[in-house]
Structure 1
Amino acid sequence: MSNKLDLKALTALVIGSMIGAGVFSLPQNMAAVASPAAVTLGWLITGFGMICLALTFQELTLSKPEVQGGVFGYAQAGFGDLCGFFSSWGYWLSAAVANVSYLVIVFSTLGLFFDTPTFKLFGDGNTLLSVALSSVLIWLVHTLVLRGVQTAAIVNYVTTIAKLIPIIVFIIATFIAFKWDTFTFDFTGVNIANEPSLFDQIKQTMLITVWVFIGIEGAVVVSSRAKNTKDVGRATILGLLICLFLYVSVTLLSMGVVSTPELAKLQNPSAAKILETLIGEIGAAIIGIGLIISVSGAYLSWTLLATETPYTAAKIGMFPKIFAETNQNGTPTYSLWLTSCAVQLCLILMFMIGGGYDDLLTIASEMILVPYLLVAAYLMKLSFSELDTFKVKAIAFLATVYGIWLLYASGIHHLLLATLLYLPGLAFYINAMQESGKPGFNMRNKILLGVIIFASVYGVYLVAEGVKL
């Protein structure tokens, strides 16, 4: 069976990576921090920034097809082996840790259907039964991916279609029930005492929208498996536009059905309560089932992306060579085992410590934003040499500024703490450099390593001083 992916499979991977559980909670999340005017402006700014980032990926896939490794290859080509390694390590680790959150959400959602006030089977997704069934799911997906990337991509394509159905039902129902007077009531949110300014509201919305587009790089990560290199950029743009339409529709249409203050008080997933109000109890069931399918599909997408990361990094000499080995189905076996074991370990640790996972998830998620900035910075670097055109310069500048904004909006102290998670990966890097015969730490790499160590120490200091995560 061919392991090459066509435009449909690549687009499904992008959409499947971006759409998880967040879309079903967006109405309440947004209403809790901003007015309809601020939400509208926030989406415009975020949409523009993400389009610039998507165009950056497209420009690089077309202009630098010889650069292998996608996101991490661009970091290596632009800024050296150690920077490329940190980009790939951070991306892989954050994807593995984030996958644990998908498992937690799946079984906490099942708790809505099966738990009672006096008897909790699934709880918040952290009961012994939830952890046991989550472990079963980890190894079921592991077995599926072992059958080949193409097989997993087909399943991902089906789950992506399935997860879009309840979202489209929600959009149609809220569109029919939409009332302009409800939407424009206290449109700016600044007429009430002690309410934040419009600018502050916009900033708060963008703190939320930072995360709903994580996964836009899905097609780029698996670019080596694309049937047509041009499809990588097309899938990235197409997937982004589809998700942007869905996110904006779900958020703004909800504000025309339920007033913003009432929307802010709803329990999440807030989309379930809204649809239940419109079409009855079946509405809550549609969203609940849709959420489980959506998150399960996202777990599969991110398992594919996480598995592909050490594999592609090993092929360009940033990870030990063993991770580039594949089975008869073309699946990078050792990379998959590394990923599945990492997810299983995080799941067990979460159960044992009984808390602290949210902070780890936030810190690890921050690491996934660094490769975005490095990709934009690489295009910026090229725009002053071989790609010296106004179009490329404009795209690179806007994408770089937006990449810096993403890191700032998500919390600089989280980024400082995230540098701690880079250090264990140095063992992989040193081994890879020894295999290739390259010097692991030239002067530039020593400076970068020094910056990483200093940042991690300062991050620990901030925590010790009581800085809230």
Structure 2
Amino acid sequence: MQADDRTQKRTAKLSVGTLTAMVVGSMVGAGVFSLPSRFAGETGVLGALISWLVAGTGMLMLAFVFQRLAMRKPDLDSGVYAYAKAGFGEYLGFFSAFGYWASACVGNVTYWILIMSTVGAVLPVLGEGDTLVSFAASTACVWLFYLLVRRGVKEAATINRIVTVAKVLPIIAFVLIAIFLLDVQVLMDNFEGYGSTGPLFEQVRGTMLATVFVFLGVEGASVYSRHARRREDVGRATVLGFLMVLAIFASVTIVSYGILPMEELAELRQPSMAGVLEAAVGGWGAAFVSVGLIVSVLGAYLAWTLMSSEVLYVAAKDGDMPRFLARSDANDVPRSALLLTTILIQVMLLVTLVSDDAFTFALDLTSALSLIPFLLAAGYALKLAAGRGGPAHGSPTVRDLVIAVAAVLYTAFLLFAAGLTFVLLSFVIYAPATILFAMTRREQGRRVFSRGELVIFVVSVIGGLAGVVALATGAISI
């Protein structure tokens, strides 16, 4: 009983500043350092501006969705998962929890790939983060961080707040240096992009998964809501953190077009931001960005490890994951969830060894896995706005309805932009996860599926089998 009291005292203590740092720390990670090459490989300045307008507006609507849901449904913790369950039932809620968790784990793999690729510029044995040596080094780091997070949730969150400040400063410095050295003629030459080889719509579509990846974490404060001092701080931190990060991402992308021609930008090794600054100021620029990247990525890895473990833990506490995942210690650390998270990261590191482009594959799969949880959260906001989501604080407004409709349309467009390959790969991961759902129902002495849930299960299995067949026949590759 005394241990439970100590645990209770350690929760609900995070301020709006720390929650905002969680949002910024979650989003500013590996993705921002890859933006110049990813965008230049798809489109030019015009397409990039349109992409950030679409992505910024869509993700802002999602940020508003999480802000409004935090206020109208304060009883729901671990937002992304809880909203899907409240709106669409236990099985889809389970899929949302699992998909969000799996997305976070795969995203964490990209961090180690990028770190090893960065150091690989000096130590060729590490390659571009896809060699056996880099795999062994990444594995050691994964388990070192597992030990760090086990020390305590609040301690790790405090470290993240400090690291967030340390990693944003080098990125801002990059933008300022690039603006000062920007060549207007090069920028204008890159303006139209690949207009002669593809329509602008397809160029913009090609950037969408990259924008989803860099914006993952916008829901960070909502996921960690049970630790907030005040419920309204969750919404404030979400919107404030999003606006800060949007300005950073768009700036990094556009100024890079003023340093190198698109063809050269597209061919840069990751982290491409280092190559851009090296072209602008020399070798010290690459070293400067590389140090900033390592600090940034380590901070983001810490934040995502915290959030992904939290999702499993809260789902288990609510009876939607097996009971063993609901165990925590006196330091408020969900140890079983943390261990399972670390194991999946380890498994995905193994998968990237056989990928043609480990970083891009992990990045796109991370984005694709997150889309179902985001779509379900937006769908629940739409139900509330339409007055069909059950009891809530306050009455729905026209603004709520507009925000929810925009968020649903945006996430549906992202599924289209992801394409069939990553939708099928997502099913390959989602379908076997139902084993955990079945374990939970058996623990509770309940029937595994209702009639409606059985239909969803069959669809997921068909999608998973189609994905396996496509991989086996070479119709899709990783």
SS in 2 for 1:411: helix
Whether 1:7 aligns to 2:16 is yes
Which residue of structure 2 lines up, in the alignment, with residue 81 of structure 1?
Answer: 90
Which residue of structure 2 lines up, in the alignment, with residue 124 of structure 1?
Answer: 128
Pairwise CA distance, 1:164: 1.0
Q: What is the aligned counterpart of 2:458 among 447, 450, 453?
A: 450
SS in 2 for 1:108: helix
Q: What is the aligned counterpart of 1:114 among 103, 120, 123?
A: 123
Distance 1:323 1:333 in 2: 8
Q: What is the aligned counterpart of 1:268 among 270, 273, 278?
A: 270
Which residue of structure 2 lines up, in the alignment, with residue 368 of structure 1?
Answer: 370
SS in 2 for 1:368: helix
Matches within 5 A, 1:196-345: 196-345=198-347
Which residue of structure 1 lines up, in the alignment, with residue 181 of structure 2?
Answer: 177
Which residue of structure 2 lines up, in the alignment, with residue 416 of structure 1?
Answer: 424
Pairwise CA distance, 1:439: 3.6
- List runs of 5+ in structure 2 lacking aligned partners: 1-8, 389-394
Whether 1:65 aligns to 2:74 is yes
Distance 1:422 1:170 in 2: 39
Aligned CA RMSD, in angstroms, stands at 2.3
Once the two structures are overlaid, the 10-residue window that deviates more, 458-467 or 290-299, is 458-467
Whether 1:441 aligns to 2:438 is no
CA contact (8 A) 2:42 2:207 kept: yes
Pairwise CA distance, 1:296: 1.5
Distance 2:352 2:205 in 1: 31
Q: Deviations over 1:309-349 (max 9, x none)?
A: 11010121111222222111111111111112222343356
Q: Deviations over 1:219-265 (max 9, x none)?
A: 11111111221111111111111111011111112223334344334
SS in 2 for 1:187: coil
Q: Deviations over 1:379-409 (max 9, x none)?
A: 1111221654211110110000001011111
Which residue of structure 1 lines up, in the alignment, with residue 144 of structure 2?
Answer: 140
Distance 1:238 1:430, change over 3 A: same
Which residue of structure 1 lines up, in the alignment, with residue 5 of structure 2?
Answer: none
- The one-letter code sitting in structure 1 at the alignment partner of 2:437 is Y
Which residue of structure 2 lines up, in the alignment, with residue 92 of structure 1?
Answer: 101
Pairwise CA distance, 1:433: 2.1
- The one-letter code sitting in structure 2 at the alignment partner of 1:75 is A
Q: Deviations over 1:186-209 (max 9, x none)?
A: 63347x7x3323333222333432
Distance 1:221 1:412 in 2: 29
CA contact (8 A) 2:30 2:110 kept: no
Distance 1:297 1:99 in 2: 11
SS in 2 for 1:89: helix
CA contact (8 A) 1:28 1:263 kept: yes
CA contact (8 A) 2:110 2:362 kept: no
SS in 2 for 1:25: helix
Once the two structures are overlaid, the 10-residue window that deviates more, 372-381 or 91-100, is 91-100
Which residue of structure 1 lines up, in the alignment, with residue 42 of structure 2?
Answer: 33
Which residue of structure 2 lines up, in the alignment, with residue 405 of structure 1?
Answer: 413
- The one-letter code sitting in structure 1 at the alignment partner of 2:103 is S
Whether 1:54 aligns to 2:58 is no
- The one-letter code sitting in structure 1 at the alignment partner of 2:434 is L
Distance 1:43 1:172 in 2: 19
CA contact (8 A) 1:364 1:418 kept: no
Distance 1:197 1:16, change over 3 A: same
Q: Deviations over 1:10-51 (max 9, x none)?
A: 122212221222212212221222121121111111111110
CA contact (8 A) 2:18 2:157 kept: yes
- The one-letter code sitting in structure 2 at the alignment partner of 1:19 is V
Distance 1:304 1:189 in 2: 39
Which residue of structure 2 lines up, in the alignment, with residue 42 of structure 1?
Answer: 51
TM-score, normalising length: structure 1: 0.91
Pairwise CA distance, 1:128: 4.1
TM-score, normalising length: structure 2: 0.90
